[in-house]
Amino acid sequence: MGAWGQGAVLSGVTEPGTVTACAHCGATCPDQHHRDGDHFFCCAGCRLVYTLLHEHGLDRFYSLESSPGVRPADSAQAAGAFAHLDDPAIRQRLLDFSDGRVARVTLRIPAMHCAACVWLLENLFRLDDTIGPARVNFPRKELALSFDETRTTLSAVVRLLARLGYAPELNLGSLDAQAKDPGARTLLLRLGVAGFAFGNIMLLSFPSYLGLDPTADAAMQHFFGLLSIGLALPVLLFSAADYWLAAWRCLRGRFLTIEFPIALGLLALFAQSAGEILTRTSEGYLDSFAGLVFLLLCGRWFQHKTYASLSFDRDYKAYFPLAAARHEQGQLRTVPVTELAVGDHIQVRHQELIPADAVVLSGEPCVDYSFVTGEAEPVRQPPGAYLYAGGKQTGGVLELQIAKPVSQGYLASLWNHDAFHKPREEPLQTLTNRAGRAFTYAVITIAAGTTVVWWLLDPSRALRAGTSVLLVACPCALALTAPFVLGTAQRLLGRHRLFLRNSGVVETLARITTLVFDKTGTLTRAGGHAVAFEGQALTPEERTWVAALARQSAHPASRRVAAHLAATPQPASAGVVAVADFEERPGQGVRGVVAGHRICLGSAAFVGVADGNPGVCLSLDGQPRGRFAWQTSYRPDLPAVIQRLRPRYALAVLSGDHAGEEPHLRALFGPQAELRFGQAPQDKLEYIRGLQADPRRAVLMLGDGLNDAGALRQSRVGIALTEDVGLFSPSCDAIFDASQFARLPDVLGFARSAVGVIKAGFIISLLYNTIGIGIAACGRLSPLVAAVLMPISSFTVIGFALLATRGAARRHGLEAA
Amino acid sequence: MSVVLVLMLASLLVGLTFLACFVWAVSRGQYEDLETPAMRMLTDDEDARGQGPRAKQKGKRPHE
């Protein structure tokens, strides 16, 4: 929580000459050009939001957190933006409900990040009275709001949000109905019912816990017994239903999972208890029965940790726009992307995505494929070039002719590969299931042996002794170990911004033998380019002039140049330099007059020099001076990480790039590593598949872009590395924050330790089971012994799992942050 | 001993009431978002005193 009350308001007020923080978003203001009274802003967008909120009496936004605002994107200001949302076909699929007067819509807003955001979004009706009540679901980053359809439109609502900096995430994937997770609700209900029955059956069992003479009030005892059966029935039929289903699947599929012995044990517990209560032989084991089901469900619930705001299942649709501008009989109409057909002429403007593979008819393509490859540098293409879908045009307007349907483009076709059609491997080979299998055979053998032996000694007790073995051998503690270890591991990793799709991934991570890396955006930093100036060296004064010019532009290349020049010491006399006659040509460059000198910064053609290399060219007073070149910058931790991984794992690098970096990577990865360059998305997938032909190999793929999606899916564990976990990431098993890249060896080591903890937990639970089975085989198992033994074994194992996993995390430097 | 019987049934009834409340809460989706209500609580003071226009709006807010 930030400063309450005054602090936030003061942060924007400073004397001239000092560094100022934007009163809205908290970023450093480049100058003091944008101001409103005492407050300074980093850009016009922030000032606009501040003024808007101020005018509507929403100043409280700024007192809830310090600088809670989000800088609105420049494109949000355009009047025509989002007009396509009012197309009936799109509107209808986006709205949750509409009756012609009131409409309801649920929008995903990745930018919301604090309590002030929640407050502002739920108070939107104060800004615009056509908007009705709004509800935020913060974990899912969703805003559900209703609006008056007679007075406003969906596009106007979205435009208002975008202007405030909360642009909703709208893409082709938003059109699909969102799958909700119904499992969590049912699990909670089952848990509630089991907990209720557990508590009350224990209450009814008090007479026997206290050792009261059962013969003293036999009628009462019997009544309590019947009541217990009544309470245990919902547990049997509802709470434990998953176990019966799983056991039935085991029988039909002729394979054994841990659920089978559990179902067997639970059934034996209930049947013997009900039998003994009805025949008035004893008070039954129903307290143990309800308790076991309750604990097992607790384990499931603990394991059922999901990250609602992250999406692990995105396909290409999440990257593609909703609509495109199509030429129809000489007019430009916005149509849903799904309606585009081969041969259509479409128009793509600055900062718009190319929706389908297409050929350029006119315009100058300068395409940013950062979603696809992770490479942020826009690629300049000749007119007539074939453009792949998913790229973003930067620069002027493009006229394109669609060459392939949206769903069959270069990238989208990856999803037609059969790797995406087979469901994700069901984890039948988990440690728990393997241990459970051996356990089941042993228990069934012992139970049968006990029955036979007692049959020979005392036939009247044979059946009872046999079922006693089955019920006491219910591998509850065994089944609880893995959920608690893996669930804890998943939560601990989550605190370090290493998010796993589910806790089972931890176990798979422990078995990895081969690591495959994507290069661009994974080994290198996305956008973290080092800049070097090549050419005639600039004097300090000239540097200040160029920096002043570059600061005027919001283009990534200009910002990079400005940051590079600002990083070197400036002459004291520099002061503030004014830029006159500033002109920016989107996708080409900027020019202006600084201190009487004409400076031109941009593409080779724009500056007027012959230079084919990527980078930004510079001319001063018409004289070409050189070029700001980008150098690939690897993650600073990379050498250390690779050094730690080399002894244990086979390593490989797959790059979509040319082989220019090979010597450097070879030195880093060593002679054994496989380095492949010029890999298409399909090649990456096939390479992983080739590796997996050897069943002993378990491949982990680490990638970032859409072009890695196939490889991520095909590998045993696919990890997406991303600079912002709320934004784009392809379908994968885990999403790692890129800043945590250095922890990769620790994560793998921790996963191995966690599996060690599971094995130790198995041994503990087996010890208890051996004691129980011993007592049962002797025919001496009483309800009281079972009522003591079972909870003790379960709680020991749970306690051990929680503590030992935390200990393992500490050893690997992953203690709770 | 009949007193025990009556008490036992009464306690069961109380338990069942709570179970019913729990089932109702789960099916209304109250356990689906445990974070936002906590954040909302931090910003609700002003409106609770009836100063903001939200106080008027509150009556109109339909339950989902």
Which tens digits make up the pLDDT trace of A344-373?
888 888 777 888 888 888 887 888 776 666
Whether the per-residue pLDDT at A2 is higher than 60: the answer is no
Instruction: Return the pLDDT at B1.
Output: 60
Q: Which of A64, A126, A192 sits opposite B22 (nearest CB)?
A: A192
Grade residue B61 by pLDDT with cuts at 50, 70 and 90.
Answer: very low
B63 at A interface, C-beta within 8 A: no
Residue of A nearest to B10 (CA): A200
Which residues contact residue A635 at a Cβ distance below 8 angstroms, ignoring those fewer than 6 apart?
A: A523, A524, A525, A641, A738, A741, A742
Tens of pLDDT, residues A648-703: 999 999 887 777 778 888 988 888 888 998 888 888 889 999 998 888 889 999 98
Task: Give yes or no for A223 touching B (CB within 8 A).
Answer: yes
Cβ of B43 within 8 Å of Cβ of A184? The answer is: no
- What single string gives the DSSP state of each residue in A685-699? HHHHHHHTTSTT--E
Q: A184 vs B32: CB contact, 8 Å cut-off?
A: yes
Three-class secondary structure of residue A290 per DSSP: helix
CA angle, A600 then A603 then A606, to 5°: 60
pLDDT interval class at A243 (50, 70, 90): very high
Flag whether pLDDT at B57 surpasses 90: no
pLDDT at residue A10 in the model: 39
Cα A225 to Cα A223: distance, rounded to the nearest angstrom: 5
> How large is the average pLDDT for residues A292-318?
82
Tens of pLDDT, residues A386-410: 888 878 887 778 888 888 888 777 7
pLDDT tens for A760-771 read 999 999 999 899
Percent of chain A with pLDDT strictly greater than 70: 89
CB-based contact B33 A138, cutoff 8 Å: yes
Structure tokens at A536: 């005639």
Q: How far out from the chain centre does Cα A632 lie?
A: 27
> Measured between beta carbons, which residues in chain A are less than 8 angstroms from residue B60?
133
What count of other Cβ atoms lies within 10 Å of the Cβ of residue B58? 13
Is pLDDT at B52 greater than 60 in this prediction? no
Of A203, A275, A196, nearest to A238 by C-alpha is A196
Q: From CA A628, how far away is CA A558, in angstroms rounded?
A: 10
Q: Which residue has the tokens 């969102």?
A: A178
Element (H, E) at A272: helix A259-278
Contact of A141 with A110, CB cutoff 8 Å: yes
Task: Let me know: does A487 contact A761? Beta carbons within 8 Å.
Answer: no
> What's the pLDDT band for A422 if we cut at 50, 70, 90?
low
- The order of strands in the sheet holding A358-362 is A331-336, A323-328, A345-348, A398-402, A358-362, A386-387
Residue B33 in contact with partner chain A when CB distance is under 8 A: yes
- E strands, A234-344, in order: 323-328, 331-336
Asked if A354 and A388 touch (Cβ cutoff 8 Å), the reply is: yes
Task: Looking at the complex, report in whole angstroms how far the Cα of residue A256 sits from the nearest Cα belonging to chain B.
Answer: 33
Inter-chain touch B35–A203, beta carbons under 8 Å: no
Q: Can you say whether the dihedral through the CA atoms of A718, A724, A726, A728 is positive or negative?
A: negative
In a 13 Å sphere around the CA of A718, the CA atoms on its Cβ side amount to 27
Per-residue pLDDT at A421: 65
DSSP characters over A113-159: -SHHHHHHHHTGGGT-TTEEEEEEETTTTEEEEEEETTT--HHHHHH
Q: How far is A548 from chain B (nearest CA, A)?
A: 42
Task: Report chain B residues whose CB lies below 8 A from the CB of A192.
Answer: 19, 22-23, 26
Does residue B62 register a pLDDT over 50?
no
Cα–Cα separations (whole angstroms), residue A475 to A197, A258, A770: 21, 8, 11
Span A111-127, pLDDT tens digits: 888 888 888 898 888 88
Length of chain B, in residues: 64
In the prediction, which pLDDT does A9 show? Answer: 38
* Chain-chain contact of A115 with B15 (C-beta, under 8 angstroms): no
The single residue listed with the structure tokens 């019913």 is B20
Cβ <8 Å between A192 and B8: no
Give the number of beta-carbon pairs within 8 Å between A and B: 79
**Arithmetic mean of pLDDT, A331-337:** 80
**Region of poorest pLDDT, from A349-363, A394-408, A530-544, A602-616:** A602-616
- Are the beta carbons of B26 and A115 separated by less than 8 Å? no
Q: What is the pLDDT of residue A726?
A: 62
Q: Of A143-152, A300-309, A735-744, where does mean pLDDT reach its minimum?
A: A300-309
* A63/B contact by beta carbon, under 8 A: no
For the segment A157-171, the average pLDDT, to the nearest whole number, is: 86
Q: Is B24 part of the contact surface with chain A (CB cutoff 8 Å)?
A: no
Residues 122-161 (A) with a CB less than 8 A from some CB of B = 122-123, 125-126, 133, 135-140, 144
- Count CB atoms within 10 A of the CB of residue A233: 14
pLDDT of residue A79: 59
Distance from CA of B49 to the nearest CA of A (A): 15
Instruction: In whole angstroms, give the CA distance from residue A144 to residue A156.
Output: 16
β partners of residue A82: none
Residue with the larger pLDDT of the pair A59 and A762: A762
Tell me the pLDDT tens digit for each residue of A197-231: 999 999 888 877 777 776 667 788 888 899 999 99
Q: In this structure, is the dihedral angle defined by the CA atoms of residues A327, A331, A332 and A338, taken in order, positive or negative?
A: negative
In terms of CA atoms, which chain B residue is nearest residue A199?
B15
The mean pLDDT value for A634-652 works out to 90
Terminal Cα distance for chain A, rounded: 17
Confidence at A754, pLDDT banded by 50, 70, 90: very high
Name every chain A residue with its beta carbon within 8 A of the beta carbon of B54: 123, 126
**CA distance linking residue A590 with residue A528, whole number of Å:** 22
The answer to whether the Cβ–Cβ distance between A196 and B15 falls below 8 Å is yes
Q: Give pLDDT, residue A547.
A: 82
Read off the DSSP letter of residue A711.
Answer: H
Contact of B4 with chain A, judged by CB distance below 8 Å, is answered with yes
Q: Which pair of tokens denotes residue A534?
A: 């090549």
Give yes or no for residue A54 having a pLDDT over 60: yes
Partners of A64 on chain B (C-beta within 8 Å) are 42-43
Distance of CA A74 to the CA centre of its chain: 27
Encoded amino acid at A301, one letter: W
**Count of alpha carbons within 13 Å of A104, Cβ hemisphere only?**
10
Closest Cβ opposite residue A188 in set B26, B54, B61: B26
Query: How would you classify the pairing of strands A102-108 and A39-41?
Result: unpaired
Q: How far apart (Å, rounded) are the C-alpha atoms in residues A810 and A495? A: 13
Say which residue, A745 or A177, is predicted with more confidence: A745
Mean pLDDT, residues A776-780: 81
- Cβ of B14 under 8 Å from any chain A Cβ? no
Residue A413 or A103, more confident: A103
Is the model's pTM score more than 0.90?
A: no
Give yes or no for residue A12 having a pLDDT over 60: no
